[in-house]
Structure 1
Amino acid sequence: MPPVDPPVDPWGQVDDIDGNAHYKTLGVDIRASAEDIKRAYRALAKQHHPDKGGDPAAFAALQTAFEVLSDPQKRAVYDTWAKELQFRYVRAAAAAGPARGQGGEDILLDEFEGLGLKCDPATQLVVTCEVCRRPATKECWTCGMAICEFCTLKRHWKGGFPLHWPLVNSAHMAERLAKRELEKKRVEDVQQLALESPNHRSEAELKDIRAFRTAAAELAGDPNRATRYDLRIARYYQWAQTAATVFLACRVPTGYADRELVVECSAARLLVQAEDSPPLVDRFFAHAVDTERPIESFKTVDNRICVLAIPKGQPGERWRCLFEGDSEGARCMQPPYNLTETEDDVLLELELPFWIDAEDCRVEFGERQLSVDVRNTLRLERTYWRNSGEEARSRDYTVIDQAQCVWSLEEDCDASGERCKLLVLTLARPPPTEEEVTWKKGKRQDNRVAQRPESMHRKGFRFFADDEDTYSLEDILQAVCFLEEGRTYVPPKPWSQGEEGYWADQLVLLPAAAQQFVARLREQQQQEAQEGGQQQAEGGGDKGQRQRGVAAAG
């Protein structure tokens, strides 16, 4: 008689049945802040690192836990899918079974796995009714609760929604899933067209090119264009700095693989211009550049992304702005202020020398722009991000309530403990409109909830349009700064509300995209090092400027 296999307990095979294994690995509570998670990881990483006699398996588990919990999007998915019962995974008791279909479960699983989170291929997604735990078939359109046919006749409540009758739109979930599939198909089509023709541009990119050419043509007629800051052009570049180098990342809208991208840099002026196109950058530097050191340029093969490494004339000097005519920190990856957003206002803090008095400060809360002028110290100008959809619907649209905005100058200490002054500005948001009260439960439709055009899953823009990173240039800047100095500033993404900027001194602390750029640039550096001996034997490199390709897609 053949031996009988013992019964299999599917739940016994689940490693993370309570959905808190990553939190236990780091020794933090499930409500721990991002800073608590970083602090716990650093302490445990030193303890378990294999180079210091630690357990490699424990260190690997520690890294996995940190990679998930340090990324707000991955953490949100982990908390939702691994903890809540309607998204419970059970390993199948039998290895064989019916093949998974191509329905909503697969799309959700694709999203889960697309974030880098692990999921057993023999796992089955069980969506249960949150009221009675039967298999769910519908979703309440009011609160998003998963319910079954029977419970559509019951009232329920969820989160901030009080007791209510279920409002069900049978096509609502199908429409959302269809939109997601459509977006995925659109991205695939664009990638395929780009492979077939490197010079292919989508309709959105063509619109971007037209907007750039219009703004550049207008700027060309200004005799002071070399010292004029124009956000319509400045949004295509961003910069960061280390002790010795200023890195400038540019998105060249008119760049093409078969057209030359000209980069000319002197001690005083910089020119970045694609062939048969107006210049993207034609400005005077605000600080001295070291002409004795070569200026390196990194370009993608399609000439749409260009990164310049500009040596500082005085190493160690902190550049307060990049070009003449720019205000303090304009288009810098690390802004010169701390900014905190709440439901009712925006708090901006500027650190100033201790001798500054209130009479030295002039603050203007404009309808479209904030202006701060501190005598002989700084000039700050920022443009508010505006919701074009809401602005088109309402003549009374405004970003701030100018009458309620205030500022103050307070005594404080800097990071080194030295005395300083803190200029605190409170920008009050306007009261919710009648439409927001009626249809949005009083929630303002401001920069925090606006849908980003490049993604269906991300909402939120930075409060100042000058700080927006439309073309993901921050990831490149973080990579090159990290490679040169071993650390870099990582600003919070606008769709990760509540997060704070931080300094990353370990590769694992960088965002995933920045880590990929670091890996590709290191691989490229190794290739260049192998070829370096041969190049030196042939006469060395150009002292004025070296051009290298960026081993990453634009």
Structure 2
Amino acid sequence: MGRARDADPWGQLEDLDGTQHYTTLGVEPTASAEEIKKARGPPPLLPPLPPARPPPLPSAYRQLAKQHHPDKGGDPAAFARVQAAFEVLIDPKQRAVYDTWAKELQFRYVRSTAASGGAGQGFEDILLDEFDNLGLHCDPATQGSFPLHWPLVNSDHMRDRLGKAELDRKRIADAERLALQDPNHRNKAELQDIRAFKEAAAEVAALPDAQRHYDLRLAKFYMWAQTAATVFLACRVPTGYEDRELVIECTQRGLVLQAEDSPPLIDRLFEHAVDGSRPIETFRTKDNRVCVLCIPKAEYGEHWGRLFRGDSHGARCMQPPYTLSETQDDVIMEIELPFWIDPEDVSVRFGERELAVAVRNTLHLRRTYWRNTEEESRRKAEYQVLLLEECVWSLEEDINAEGERCKLLMLTLARPEPTQEEVSYKKGKRQDNRAASRPGSMHKKGFRFFADDEDMYGLEDILQARPH
């Protein structure tokens, strides 16, 4: 069936523990380069006779090199090991690389059962040995100045990720199978969405200004984008079913989007004028769960700061009027403003649950922080998203992309210090929006810092694929 492979590929490796250079010269890993040059070396197998006058002790390298030099009848392989050990250990850079790899215990190669020659070796293990053996031979042309001296495997990390990905594929396959059997099938998470939607819709409908009221519990089901002539609105209808009508009523004044026998998902008034002479285009899926509306603007080229009356600036817009950059310790928010804005025109309020930014005659921004509900329920009053006393803002002069003068409003949102549990068990990594696991996925992690910007239903992909 091919060439005969070695019985033990493991035997082709040397220095698996990363200590061979030290044992070759008989020095401690903590020895300095000068100490290595002056070291005695390993003790001889037979103790020498005591001389009448003790000669000066040669260094370990000189002693071993003289002993194993091929011209003196020594072993060339042993001489090469001595030479390599000395060159690595007296060079600070090469020695640092050598010591670093020795400390990375979690990346060490672990011998498989088949490679160890244990009883009961199966065909699967035989095949695995062939793949294991591939890691033992590396093309020298692909190696850098300090090549690896043993194969590396990233512990169980990849195995865990592959297992979670397999569970995700099985979950998706089961959902597709059930959808074919029953088009109106809903899984547990979707049923929870439906219940939460109906409760929120009932509360909003009871308000006197319901058509001007923004509620994130309803707004999370839609997202919008715009061009110079058209506004595109993508919606995920939680109560949409194939055998129920989806009602869409769009006028110059407002929009109603409602599934049959369900409270409306959207019943709002537009903030800007809509062109009544042009038709409203709609696209929907067969099961009425997803729909896209193309709404023509009355004034070509007008920039819509908000979609509905009562919304904050850029609420649920695919491109918000700010940029965010997150680090381990804080979140930097930048807003470009006209050059005539002064500090007294700006009002910023760092709240425990939301951020409010108001700029006179320019914008009014409200954003809700994403919160870890599990941590919040466990830690209660101790849980906080921001360290409010360290949050600051500044207004600076800048140049925009067109090369024109502008003002840049910069907000620094300080994260709290890691908890004792995060320090002890999470290596000091905060369990914030970046580390949280996403629902419906075993391996995807991370949420956006503002809950208003989060896309739970893939609406951004639909908007990016919109007709132009």
Instruction: Provide TM-score, normalisation by structure 2.
Output: 0.68
Alignment of 1:222 with 2:207, yes or no, is yes
One-letter amino acid of the counterpart of residue 297, structure 1: T
One-letter amino acid of the counterpart of residue 474, structure 1: E
2:445 aligned residue: 459
Alignment of 1:186 with 2:165, yes or no, is no
Deviations 1:461-509 (A, max 9, x none): 10000000000000110111xx31xxxxxxxxxxxxxxxxxxxxxxxxx
2:408 aligned residue: 422
Pairing partner for 2:248 from 259, 263, 280: 263
User: Which residues of 2 match residues 202-221 of structure 1 at below 5 A?
Assistant: 202-221=187-206
Quote the offset at 1:377 in angstroms.
1.1
Separation in 2 of the partners of 1:446 and 1:275?
Answer: 39
Corresponding residue SS for 1:438: helix
Separation in 1 of the partners of 2:271 and 2:303?
Answer: 11
Pairing partner for 1:476 from 428, 446, 462: 462
Alignment of 1:413 with 2:403, yes or no, is no
Alignment of 1:250 with 2:235, yes or no, is yes
Separation in 2 of the partners of 1:135 and 1:346?
Answer: 36
Deviations 1:377-432 (A, max 9, x none): 11000000011121122121111100000001101112111111111100000000
Separation in 1 of the partners of 2:162 and 2:359?
Answer: 52
2:429 aligned residue: 443
Separation in 2 of the partners of 1:133 and 1:408?
Answer: 52
1:239 aligned residue: 224
Alignment of 1:388 with 2:411, yes or no, is no
Separation in 2 of the partners of 1:206 and 1:300?
Answer: 19
Quote the offset at 1:261 in angstroms.
0.2
2:100 aligned residue: none
Separation in 2 of the partners of 1:241 and 1:332?
Answer: 9
Separation in 2 of the partners of 1:315 and 1:442?
Answer: 52
Given that residues 383 and 464 in structure 1 are in contact (C-alpha distance below 8 angstroms), is that contact kept between their aligned partners in structure 2? yes
Separation in 2 of the partners of 1:281 and 1:126?
Answer: 61
Quote the offset at 1:356 in angstroms.
0.9
Separation in 1 of the partners of 2:207 and 2:231?
Answer: 27
Corresponding residue SS for 2:211: helix
1:371 aligned residue: 356
2:420 aligned residue: 434
Given that residues 244 and 311 in structure 1 are in contact (C-alpha distance below 8 angstroms), is that contact kept between their aligned partners in structure 2? yes
One-letter amino acid of the counterpart of residue 299, structure 2: Q
Q: 5+ unaligned residues in a row in structure 2: which ranges?
A: 3-106, 110-122, 137-146
1:132/1:456 Cα in 2 relative to 1: closer, same or farther (>3 Å)?
Answer: farther
Given that residues 264 and 271 in structure 1 are in contact (C-alpha distance below 8 angstroms), is that contact kept between their aligned partners in structure 2? yes
Corresponding residue SS for 1:389: helix
Separation in 2 of the partners of 1:374 and 1:189?
Answer: 50
Given that residues 418 and 429 in structure 2 are in contact (C-alpha distance below 8 angstroms), is that contact kept between their aligned partners in structure 1? yes
Quote the offset at 1:124 in angstroms.
6.1
Given that residues 393 and 409 in structure 2 are in contact (C-alpha distance below 8 angstroms), is that contact kept between their aligned partners in structure 1? yes
Pairing partner for 2:317 from 332, 355, 380: 332
Quote the offset at 1:140 in angstroms.
4.3
Given that residues 164 and 443 in structure 2 are in contact (C-alpha distance below 8 angstroms), is that contact kept between their aligned partners in structure 1? no
Identity of aligned residues (%): 62
Given that residues 183 and 287 in structure 2 are in contact (C-alpha distance below 8 angstroms), is that contact kept between their aligned partners in structure 1? yes
Given that residues 334 and 408 in structure 2 are in contact (C-alpha distance below 8 angstroms), is that contact kept between their aligned partners in structure 1? yes
Alignment of 1:306 with 2:291, yes or no, is yes
Pairing partner for 1:349 from 321, 326, 334: 334
User: Which residues of 2 match residues 29-178 of structure 1 at below 5 A?
Assistant: 133=150, 140=155, 173=159, 178=163
Given that residues 165 and 443 in structure 2 are in contact (C-alpha distance below 8 angstroms), is that contact kept between their aligned partners in structure 1? no
1:290/1:125 Cα in 2 relative to 1: closer, same or farther (>3 Å)?
Answer: farther
Bigger Cα Rg = 2
1:292 aligned residue: 277
Given that residues 237 and 265 in structure 2 are in contact (C-alpha distance below 8 angstroms), is that contact kept between their aligned partners in structure 1? yes
User: Which residues of 2 match residues 270-289 of structure 1 at below 5 A?
Assistant: 270-289=255-274
Corresponding residue SS for 2:465: helix
Instruction: Provide TM-score, normalisation by structure 1.
Output: 0.58
One-letter amino acid of the counterpart of residue 427, structure 1: L
One-letter amino acid of the counterpart of residue 243, structure 1: A
Separation in 2 of the partners of 1:376 and 1:475?
Answer: 33
One-letter amino acid of the counterpart of residue 420, structure 1: C
Q: 5+ unaligned residues in a row in structure 1: which ranges?
A: 6-83, 87-99, 106-122, 147-172, 485-554
Quote the offset at 1:299 in angstroms.
0.4
One-letter amino acid of the counterpart of residue 237, structure 2: V
Separation in 1 of the partners of 2:213 and 2:248?
Answer: 20
User: Which residues of 2 match residues 528-543 of structure 1 at below 5 A?
Assistant: none
Corresponding residue SS for 1:363: strand
Given that residues 237 and 473 in structure 1 are in contact (C-alpha distance below 8 angstroms), is that contact kept between their aligned partners in structure 2? yes
CA RMSD of aligned residues (A): 2.9
Quote the offset at 1:284 in angstroms.
0.2
One-letter amino acid of the counterpart of residue 461, structure 2: D
Corresponding residue SS for 1:394: helix
Separation in 2 of the partners of 1:372 and 1:334?
Answer: 17
1:198 aligned residue: 183
Quote the offset at 1:183 in angstroms.
3.2
Deviations 1:265-287 (A, max 9, x none): 01011000000000000000000
Separation in 1 of the partners of 2:305 and 2:443?
Answer: 35
Given that residues 85 and 128 in structure 1 are in contact (C-alpha distance below 8 angstroms), is that contact kept between their aligned partners in structure 2? no
Deviations 1:26-50 (A, max 9, x none): xxxxxxxxxxxxxxxxxxxxxxxxx
Given that residues 315 and 452 in structure 2 are in contact (C-alpha distance below 8 angstroms), is that contact kept between their aligned partners in structure 1? yes
Quote the offset at 1:125 in angstroms.
8.1
Alignment of 1:404 with 2:393, yes or no, is no
Separation in 2 of the partners of 1:316 and 1:125?
Answer: 62
One-letter amino acid of the counterpart of residue 437, structure 1: V
Quote the offset at 1:454 in angstroms.
2.6
Separation in 1 of the partners of 2:108 and 2:421?
Answer: 35
Separation in 2 of the partners of 1:135 and 1:292?
Answer: 67
Given that residues 257 and 302 in structure 1 are in contact (C-alpha distance below 8 angstroms), is that contact kept between their aligned partners in structure 2? yes
Deviations 1:80-108 (A, max 9, x none): xxxx999xxxxxxxxxxxxx979x99xxx
Given that residues 167 and 442 in structure 2 are in contact (C-alpha distance below 8 angstroms), is that contact kept between their aligned partners in structure 1? no
Size of the aligned set, in residue pairs, is: 339
Quote the offset at 1:355 in angstroms.
1.1
1:127/1:204 Cα in 2 relative to 1: closer, same or farther (>3 Å)?
Answer: farther
